[in-house]
Structure 1
């Protein structure tokens, strides 16, 4: 499974022993699908329900239109996001999480818990040195 997974041009070392490889493989796979600056932020914004492109842009003000388009396209290709086009004028497109994408909700919650705890720890360390 991991033989064909590449992250930013990197590949699992062939010299790695099978046990280490089997433990690392799921992590490498997940990072290959969710790595990058914007993917988890887009997923986080879609957890509560479908959003239109403009709503996502407003929710993530630092992302460019081009990068949001590329990120949504990659997430769609990987089966994490659905793109639903409504046959109306003007065109109406909504993005939502697939069943696979919805499976990331607990991961996102755990990641948020870790971020809050780590941020608080760093803030407390800075406050103690001031």
Structure 2
């Protein structure tokens, strides 16, 4: 049988979960802080949502529109997970009409330097040399090193719980 040029995908087992001091489910810090962090942010959609929210608070529909391959069920589950981990905060801004925004907490905003470094690393090592880097996904202002702005003036900056 001929060998395929397609790389074989390897399944990586998930990081073991435990309850932290606040009772939240998450990776055990007894493993390693880096592995614990990867357990919280280490999926494509979690990182994409965090990246989107680095621009400021967003409505569910705005996040959904920003990622064409993301479906509502996955977005909802991912936002709930990130909220449970203390990375994202859900805020009701209006009851008539009902309106909710999602924003990064202080903990979530702390991911900006890591997101910046991941982007730089990906550009250097993963993008083929022939790719026009100006045509890749636009960088968030936070990824570019600017301070985050509030997308919605009615939402106050979020602090750690």
Q: CA deviation at 1:57?
A: 0.4
Find 2:35's aligned residue among 28, 32, 52: 28
Please state how far the C-alpha of 1:28 moved relative to its aligned partner. Answer: 1.3
Aligned position for 2:82: 75
1:106-117 aligned within 5 A = 106-117=113-124
Query: 5+ residue gaps in structure 1?
Result: 1-6, 12-21, 125-130
Instruction: Quote the offset at 1:88 in angstroms.
Output: 2.5
Larger relative helix fraction: 1
Structure 2: unaligned runs, 5 residues or longer:
1-12, 18-28, 131-161
Aligned partner of 1:43 in structure 2 is 50
The alignment partner of 2:44 has SS state of coil
Q: CA deviation at 1:86?
A: 1.9
SS of equivalent to 1:123: coil
Instruction: Provide TM-score, normalisation by structure 2.
Output: 0.61
Q: Are 1:123 and 2:132 matched, yes or no?
A: no
Report runs of 4+ in structure 1 exceeding 4 Å deviation: none
For residues 9 and 28 of structure 1, the distance between their equivalents in structure 2, rounded to whole angstroms, comes to 7
Match of 2:112 among 88, 105, 111: 105
The aligned residue for residue 14 of structure 1 is none
TM-score by length of 1: 0.74
C-alpha distance in structure 1 between counterparts of 2:120 and 2:71, whole Å: 27
Determine if contact 2:89/2:105 at 8 Å carries over to the other structure: yes
CA offset at residue 118 of structure 1?
1.5
